[in-house]
Amino acid sequence: MTSTAASARPRRYGALYVTEHRLRLVRSWRWTFIATTLGNPIIYLYSLGVGLATLVHTAIPIGDGREVSYLVYVAPALIASAAMTAAVEESMFPYLEGFKWNETFFAINSAPITGRQIVDGTTIWIAIRVVPTTIVYLVIAALFGAVTSAGAGLVVVIATAAGLAMGLLVSSYTATIREDRGQMAIIMRIIVMPLFLFSGTFFPLESLPIGLQWIGWVSPLWHGTQLSRVVAFGLAEPIWLTVAHVGYLAALAALGLWRTRAVVTARLDR
Amino acid sequence: MPGPVIIARALTKSYGEFRAVDGIDFEVATGESFGLLGPNGAGKSTTMRMLSAVSTRTSGELSILGLDPDQHGPEIRARLGVVPQSDNLDGELRVRDNLIVYGRYFGIPRRRVAEKADELLAFAQLEDKRDARVESLSGGMKRRLTIARGLVNEPEILLLDEPTTGLDPQARHLLWDRLFRLKEQGTTLVLTTHYMDEAEQLCDRLIVVDKGAIMAEGSPASLIRDHSSREVLEVRFGSDRNALVAERIADVGDRVEVLPDRVLVYAGDGEAALREVIGRGLDPITSLVRRSSLEDVFLRLTGRSLVE
């Protein structure tokens, strides 16, 4: 066989083969996946909707004189947060596994697959991992009465995009890790957790002191959350801000993808 | 006579100031079994990564299957099989799935890759382990699975980096047998090793490398002929006396080499050399006459042992 013929399919579909590989791996942890995908929304929505809602009686103003219940207010934010957490997890373990634990990236690269295809295929996998998480969350939120319009369906797309933006930033770092010294636990505790708490998830960002509001502005989660609220229940905000949310998320995703591809490609060339 | 499938000219790879591979030249012919023999740190693995078309060279020329790996990495890799030094199998997948996933990376359709996986499990004698977890395999089994994985695309060249390091003798012989079959089928083999017996068993031709440079090149037999005597007499006098006695028997053979635990006397006729040593009134604690090996060639060329 000539070289061109032998490498034509990998050249075209290489990234999808990487995704296929990750999908085959799901078999070994499918129960964990099912348990977290179902358990996470039930626990959060129950504790907030049934528990915290007994304290938060005030309706939340969403502009133009309209108001929504607290549960309706937090539901889009929770979905975006769940997407971010899942995307960040999948932006850490596959890269540590690929470069460090099993060195599988080096094996994949010995086949006609490039570093860029490895990153692209892993990113497609992350999207595949996040979408069902957000759909299940949305459905359970609807069962709790936290979804008020059909437009909320778009939250799936927005939350996934916000998750990918955050995940790609994380992978541009995790792909560089040479020694596992607990960096992943640090990412979860020092970056993901504070972003979850300070990205306007449980209260509007404006209720924070101005000195802390920047956390929200830089956080992809805040931009994803606000966009989700716009589509879910028509949160009123200036059009330029909506455009800024989209632009910021797209820019972060592009930056993260570009950096991760560069890091992985350089590291494979030992 | 088919042309060479690999041509390296002044091939060099540097990491900062350090030259891991320092301007080496060699060719590998179609169907040949070619070896790189040298101690750890000689630059063998670095060379293998360049031959695998995954590591870009610092300078020099390299042609694999007529293509430049810097320009045509994926095209070349589509026709290579690679068995790296560490078994980078996917520990979370089962044995057979490792072969299937890997075959898919070459664009082999699912049905065909499943057939191929079963065929390779038979070749690697792992049929009863097809659904086992990779972690549960012994070192020899993992190695055979890695070799099987390297064959999934029916490669024209199989590159093996230290194929039997860390395996017990039985597992090594089984692997050698499998590699020999591939060779018979016409697959070009390129392997690195620091075991002289492995090089003698498997290689038609080899280069002896040390510190990134080629020290000698030839068939195992011709290397031994050119760089060593036919036989070697090994005598031990006790570690405190070896060096002293060596001076008194320096003229017995062609050459004498003092190692910490024994003295090697290189001679055409080992038994005659032993009679001469005893005739001089010296009484070795143990003595052994054997054929010269590649280990002796390496010792001669570098003044050091292969396995230290």
Spatial separation of the C-alpha atoms in residues A102 and A113, rounded to whole Å: 17
Instruction: Please indicate, yes or no, whether residues B235 and B155 belong to a single structural domain of this protein.
Output: no
Q: Specify if B305 maps to a domain.
A: no
Q: Among residues 104-123 of chain B, which lie with CB inside 8 Å of chain A?
A: 104-107
Q: Specify if B279 maps to a domain.
A: yes
Cα torsion for A162, A19, B75, A171, to the nearest 10°? Answer: 40
Mean pLDDT confidence for A138-145: 91
Residue A56 host element (H or E): none
Among the partner residues A4, A20, A102, nearest to B104 by beta-carbon distance: A20
Chain A interface, mutation test: which of B44, B47, B65, B88, most A Cβ atoms within 10 Å? B88
Spatial separation of the C-alpha atoms in residues A36 and A28, rounded to whole Å: 15
Tell which of B219, B240, B255 closes a domain: B219
Instruction: Please indicate, yes or no, whether residues B256 and B214 belong to a single structural domain of this protein.
Output: no
- CA closest to A102 among chain B residues: B88
Instruction: Please indicate, yes or no, whether residues B174 and B114 belong to a single structural domain of this protein.
Output: yes
Per-residue confidence at B295, pLDDT binned at 50, 70, 90? confident
The secondary structure of residue A176, as a DSSP letter, is T
Spatial separation of the C-alpha atoms in residues A266 and A257, rounded to whole Å: 14
Q: Specify if B82 maps to a domain.
A: yes
Q: Specify if B54 maps to a domain.
A: yes
The mean of the pLDDT values for chain B is: 92
Q: Which residues of A touch B101 (CB under 8 A)?
A: 20-21, 24
Q: Which residues of A touch B79 (CB under 8 A)?
A: 1, 3, 6
Q: Does A265 touch chain B (CB under 8 A)?
A: no
Range of the domain at B249: 229-291
How far from the centroid of its chain's Cα atoms is residue B212's Cα?
A: 15
Beta-carbon separation of B77 and A106 below 8 A: no
Q: Does B193 touch chain A (CB under 8 A)?
A: no
Per-residue confidence at A85, pLDDT binned at 50, 70, 90? very high
Q: Specify if B184 maps to a domain.
A: yes
Q: Specify if B84 maps to a domain.
A: yes
The percent of residues above 70 in pLDDT, for chain A, comes to 99
Instruction: Please indicate, yes or no, whether residues B174 and B213 belong to a single structural domain of this protein.
Output: yes
Instruction: Please indicate, yes or no, whether residues B163 and B283 belong to a single structural domain of this protein.
Output: no
Instruction: Please indicate, yes or no, whether residues B177 and B240 belong to a single structural domain of this protein.
Output: no
Mean pLDDT confidence for A35-44: 86
Closest to A189 in 3D by CA, of A79, A96, A92? A92
The percent of residues above 70 in pLDDT, for chain B, comes to 98
Give how many domains chain B has, as a whole number.
Answer: 2
Q: Which residues of A touch B102 (CB under 8 A)?
A: 107, 111
Q: Which residues of B touch A101 (CB under 8 A)?
A: 91
Beta-carbon separation of A112 and B74 below 8 A: yes
For residue B218, give Cα distances in angstroms to A146, A206, B28. 78, 78, 12
The secondary structure of residue A59, as a DSSP letter, is P
B36: domain CATH number is 3.40.50.300
How far from the centroid of its chain's Cα atoms is residue A34's Cα?
A: 17
pLDDT above 80 (res A51): no
Residue A230 host element (H or E): helix A220-233
pLDDT tens-digit readout, A60-75: 889 888 999 988 999 9
Q: Quick one: pLDDT at residue A86?
A: 94
Say what the ipTM of the complex is. 0.90
Chain B interface, mutation test: which of A96, A103, A110, most B Cβ atoms within 10 Å? A110
| Residue at A19: amino acid letter | T
Beta-carbon separation of A10 and B73 below 8 A: no
Q: Quick one: pLDDT at residue B165?
A: 83
Among the partner residues A1, A101, A114, nearest to B74 by beta-carbon distance: A114
Q: Does B93 touch chain A (CB under 8 A)?
A: yes
SS3 A212: helix
Chain B interface, mutation test: which of A1, A2, A4, A7, most B Cβ atoms within 10 Å? A7
Among the partner residues B49, B88, B106, nearest to A107 by beta-carbon distance: B88
Spatial separation of the C-alpha atoms in residues A31 and B189, rounded to whole Å: 44
pLDDT above 60 (res B308): no
Chain B interface, mutation test: which of A3, A33, A96, A118, most B Cβ atoms within 10 Å? A3
Q: Specify if B297 maps to a domain.
A: no
Q: Specify if B300 maps to a domain.
A: no
The secondary structure of residue A199, as a DSSP letter, is S
- Tell me the shortest Cα–Cα distance from B200 to chain A, in angstroms: 28
Cα torsion for B148, B153, B159, B164, to the nearest 10°? Answer: 0
Per-residue confidence at A45, pLDDT binned at 50, 70, 90? confident
- Tell me the shortest Cα–Cα distance from B20 to chain A, in angstroms: 12
**A22: how many CB neighbours lie within 10 A of its CB?**
18
Q: Does B21 touch chain A (CB under 8 A)?
A: no
pLDDT tens-digit readout, B209-262: 999 999 999 999 899 999 999 999 999 998 888 888 888 898 998 989 888 889
Paired strand residues for B22:
B12
Instruction: Please indicate, yes or no, whether residues B286 and B237 belong to a single structural domain of this protein.
Output: yes
Instruction: Please indicate, yes or no, whether residues B33 and B105 belong to a single structural domain of this protein.
Output: yes
pLDDT above 60 (res B134): yes
Beta-carbon separation of A6 and B97 below 8 A: no
Instruction: Please indicate, yes or no, whether residues B53 and B162 belong to a single structural domain of this protein.
Output: yes
Mean pLDDT confidence for A137-152: 90
Instruction: Please indicate, yes or no, whether residues B244 and B197 belong to a single structural domain of this protein.
Output: no
Instruction: Please indicate, yes or no, whether residues B154 and B261 belong to a single structural domain of this protein.
Output: no
Mean pLDDT confidence for A256-270: 97
Mean pLDDT confidence for B263-285: 92
Q: What's this model's pTM, rounded to 2 decimal places?
A: 0.91
Instruction: Please indicate, yes or no, whether residues B207 and B240 belong to a single structural domain of this protein.
Output: no
B275: domain CATH number is 3.30.70
Among the partner residues A97, A103, A269, nearest to B54 by beta-carbon distance: A269
- Tell me the shortest Cα–Cα distance from B271 to chain A, in angstroms: 50
Q: Quick one: pLDDT at residue B174?
A: 87
Q: Which residues of A touch B45 (CB under 8 A)?
A: none
Per-residue confidence at A4, pLDDT binned at 50, 70, 90? low
- CA closest to B74 among chain A residues: A112
Q: How many CB pairs under 8 A join A and B?
A: 102
Q: Does A108 touch chain B (CB under 8 A)?
A: yes
Q: Using an 8 Å Cβ cutoff, are B61 and B27 in contact?
A: no
How far from the centroid of its chain's Cα atoms is residue A126's Cα?
A: 8
